[in-house]
Amino acid sequence: MAGKKVLIVYAHQEPRSFNGSLKDVAVAELSRQGCTVTVSDLYAMDFEPRATRKDITGALSRPEFFSYGVEAYEAWKKRSLTSDIIAEQKKVQEADLVMFQFPLYWFSVPAVLKGWMDRVLCQGFAFDIPGFYDDGLLKHGTLHFCGFKVLAPHISFAPEYASEEERKGMVASWAQRLKTIWNEEPIPCSPPWYFGQ
């Protein structure tokens, strides 16, 4: 899709890994389609995964008791988050498609990617729903909760145990999917009434 902007948030330590290959295929195929592709390579960027007071550059709203969620929200409103957070938020805002490329660690994302989500997808920027803990909205997933239209994941099972031929097939399958990714429908998450629609 010519003119579309894509952000790939990439979380793997080894550029020559299977995940690195999938990222490279996505960059090549989406660029071939005329997209502008930006990669946030969290390990190469030495992205700070810890959500701390250091993320707030201005005065704290409640210095006597630090609450990251409250302070990040207030800092977002005052534009006093650190430059690394603001830069990543800008990339997300400008993107027509955000892709996450990572290996599964303990059935979840690597710590650096979890830290990216904690710090970048803060209240105010990514969501602002009163009472969001009241009725289990978080059970419907971080991305959907933050307003993303979520596509089905592309999973390559156990590439480290697959033969070279099987890994090539996995990469080819990913490349094929990328050719039609703009036509995919989002997966159903929570009912629209959760979001007032």
Q: What are phi and psi of 7, to 5 degrees?
A: -110, 125
Q: What is the pLDDT of residue 193?
A: 60
Instruction: Name the percent of the chain lying above pLDDT 90.
Output: 68
Instruction: Supply 143's token pair.
Output: 């991305």
Residue with tokens 């990913």: 174
Q: pLDDT tens across 96-124, in order? A: 999 999 998 988 899 999 999 999 999 88
Contact 188, 39 (CB under 8 A): no
**Residues 45, 13, 169, 101, Cα dihedral to 10°:** -40
Angstrom distance (rounded) from CA 97 to CA 151: 10
What is the pTM (predicted TM-score) of this model? 0.81
What CATH number does the domain containing 129 carry? 3.40.50.360
Helix axes 164-179, 18-32, angle to 10 degrees: 30
Instruction: Supply 63's token pair.
Output: 């210095």
The more confidently predicted of residues 101 and 137 is 101
Q: What is the pLDDT of residue 191?
A: 61
- For residue 102, the enclosing domain spans 5-195
Q: What is the pLDDT of residue 139?
A: 38
| Weakest mean pLDDT among 20-29, 94-103, 129-138 | 129-138
Q: pLDDT tens across 46-72, in order? A: 999 999 999 999 999 999 989 999 999
- Provide the mean pLDDT of the chain: 88
Q: What is the pLDDT of residue 153?
A: 84
Residues 6+ apart with CB under 8 A from 139: none
Average pLDDT over residues 171-180: 93
Total structural domains within the chain: 1
